[in-house]
Amino acid sequence: MMVGFFVASESFFFLMLILAYVNFHGSQVDGPTAVNSLNPIVTGIFSLFLLASSFTIWLAGKSLKNKNHRMLKFWLLVTILFGAIFIFGQGIEWAGLIEKNITISRNVFGTTFFSLTGFHGFHVCVGLIMLSILLGLALFGDFKGPKSDAVECVSIYWHFVDGVWIVVFSVIYLWAFL
**Which residues bind to another protein, rule: CB under 8 A?**
1-2, 5-6, 8-17, 19-20, 22-24, 26-27, 29-30, 104-105, 107-108, 110-112, 114-115, 119, 178
Q: Which is nearer to another protein, 75 or 173 (CB)?
A: 173
Q: How far is the CB of 58 from another protein (least distance, A)?
A: 17
Q: Which is nearer to another protein, 5 or 70 (CB)?
A: 5
Q: How far is the CB of 174 from another protein (least distance, A)?
A: 11
Q: How far is the CB of 75 from another protein (least distance, A)?
A: 25
Q: Which is nearer to another protein, 79 or 90 (CB)?
A: 90
Q: Which is nearer to another protein, 4 or 45 (CB)?
A: 4
Q: How far is the CB of 90 from another protein (least distance, A)?
A: 17
Q: Which is nearer to another protein, 84 or 150 (CB)?
A: 150
Q: What is the 3-state secondary structure (H, E, C) of the chain?
A: CHHHHHHHHHHHHHHHHHHHHHHHHHCCCCCCCHHHHCCHHHHHHHHHHHHHHHHHHHHHHHHHHCCCHHHHHHHHHHHHHHHHHHHHHHHHHHHHHHHCCCCCCCCHHHHHHHHHHHHHHHHHHHHHHHHHHHHHHHHCCCCCCCCCHHHHHHHHHHHHHHHHHHHHHHHHHHHHHC
Q: How far is the CB of 126 from another protein (least distance, A)?
A: 14
